[in-house]
Structure 1
Amino acid sequence: MQIHQMSVTYLPEQDRILMRINTVEGEEMRMWLTRRLMVGLWPLLSKLLTEHLLKLESAGASLAGANPELKKMLAEFRKEEFLQHADFDTPYKEGQQRLPLGEEPLLVTDVDATPLANGPLRLNFNERAPGGAAKPRSFQMEMQPKLMQGLMHLLDQALLQSGWREPFVPVAAVEPAADDDATRPRYLN
């Protein structure tokens, strides 16, 4: 399978991220990504991509003794370089006729990520129904570092739009007033 286009969109009414992938063969894979999934997936993908970029970079020069700040700067430079050459302006081609995963998007419950020795990162998106009620569905793809960085950029935009990256802030305790209202219960909606 060769990826042609990707779309990552936060849908507030679903409170989920819809990831769609068009292939050169005219197929479309649709997947729901939840906040619960992204809490663990985002740091993992960021780490794997950074390590992978450093490994590819160190093939030309020895980075074994380099300090962590230098490695981080080098990885950030590579990420920016990839993004400069990415095409985020071409609209996503809607209405693919072939949906191998079915009409309903895959509700991703876990992702297996494996960096391959020859460059790409293999991602296996799995949907496991609770209690094994339905047949599990899955989808696997391999992404070169440039494409992976494009996906990370799209996911980052969706995460910013969703507000999922913002920490939960507890509501400050309200001091009761000195009048009769102090005995009445208060509710926050």
Structure 2
Amino acid sequence: MDIHQLQASYQADQDRILLRLSGHNGIEQRVWLTRRMLKGMMVHLQRLADHLNAQREDGTLGSGRGESEAAVSVESRGDPSGVEADSVHPKSVPLLATALHVSPGEDHSLDVRFDEVHDGDSQATRSIEATLGPELLAGLVQLIDAVLRIADWDLHLRTALPDAQLADTQPSPLDAFADAPRPKYLN
């Protein structure tokens, strides 16, 4: 899959992170990341963050935004209904990642495959494959770091990468009510 954009949002009602991978062809793949899955990934993500920090300090990781770099955004939403109808089939269910396979690719990229394996099965029922170049890898690390802060799962990356910008989201009606100015009475 030729990735154009990465998005991640913490879904509080599911207590999961929804990772959305959008391609240049307009197709979007969605993956659920659970706390258990991310706990297993943390050692590898930390190594990747340290490696990317070393590349950034050496100047071998591009700092400008090129065509191969993905747009990165982080959201915190209560429901995943903000997905465009054209890019995702309405009845498609995000893949629940239970296994992750990573192998080095060409030009310092990583080939990543998320598998969904149900209990008792030896083969994946569904999988999503993507190739992540250096800029996309840096974006993914920033993205997961930012979403982990929102999720409050006590999982942290020690990274010197710049923080991902949090997308402006609509406040919940309850927050808007609590933050509303108090009425002034003329007595």
User: Into which bin does the TM-score normalised by the smaller protein fall?
Assistant: 0.5 to 0.7
Q: How does 1:117-136 map to 2 (within 5 A)?
A: 117-132=106-121, 136=125
Q: Distance in 1 between matches of 2:74 and 2:126?
A: 30
Q: RMSD of the alignment, in Å? A: 3.3
Instruction: Assess if the C-alpha contact under 8 Å between 2:10 and 2:16 holds in 1.
Output: yes
User: Does 2:28 align with 1:28?
Assistant: yes
> Which of structures 1 and 2 has the larger relative contact order (alpha carbons within 8 angstroms, sep 6+)?
2
The SS at the match of 1:46 is helix
Unaligned runs of at least 5 residues, structure 1: 54-72, 168-189
Counterpart residue number, 2:127: 138
Q: TM-score w.r.t. structure 2 length? A: 0.64
1:144-184 CA-partner distances (Å, limit 9, x unpaired):
011111011111111111111259xxxxxxxxxxxxxxxxx
1:44-74 CA-partner distances (Å, limit 9, x unpaired):
13314544x5xxxxxxxxxxxxxxxxxxx63
Q: Distance in 2 between matches of 1:160 and 1:90?
A: 11
Taking structure 1 as reference, are residues 110 and 89 closer, same or farther at Cα in structure 2, changes over 3 Å only?
closer
Q: CA deviation at 1:88?
A: 4.3
Instruction: Assess if the C-alpha contact under 8 Å between 2:6 and 2:20 holds in 1.
Output: yes
Taking structure 1 as reference, are residues 33 and 112 closer, same or farther at Cα in structure 2, changes over 3 Å only?
same
Q: Distance in 2 between matches of 1:125 and 1:10?
A: 18
Taking structure 1 as reference, are residues 78 and 153 closer, same or farther at Cα in structure 2, changes over 3 Å only?
farther
Q: Distance in 2 between matches of 1:144 and 1:133?
A: 30
Q: CA deviation at 1:122?
A: 0.7
Instruction: Assess if the C-alpha contact under 8 Å between 1:28 and 1:96 holds in 2.
Output: no
Instruction: Assess if the C-alpha contact under 8 Å between 1:83 and 1:150 holds in 2.
Output: no
Counterpart residue number, 2:43: 43
User: Does 2:74 align with 1:74?
Assistant: no
| Structure holding more helix per residue | 1
Taking structure 1 as reference, are residues 77 and 98 closer, same or farther at Cα in structure 2, changes over 3 Å only?
same
Deviation beyond 6 Å, 4+ runs, structure 1: none
Instruction: Assess if the C-alpha contact under 8 Å between 1:32 and 1:105 holds in 2.
Output: yes
Q: TM-score w.r.t. structure 1 length? A: 0.64
Higher Rg: 1
The SS at the match of 2:120 is helix
Taking structure 1 as reference, are residues 129 and 154 closer, same or farther at Cα in structure 2, changes over 3 Å only?
same
Q: Distance in 2 between matches of 1:78 and 1:16?
A: 35
1:11-36 CA-partner distances (Å, limit 9, x unpaired):
11110000011111110100100000
The SS at the match of 1:132 is coil
The SS at the match of 2:36 is helix
Q: Distance in 1 between matches of 2:25 and 2:102?
A: 24
* One-letter amino acid of the counterpart of residue 119, structure 2: P
Taking structure 1 as reference, are residues 131 and 10 closer, same or farther at Cα in structure 2, changes over 3 Å only?
same
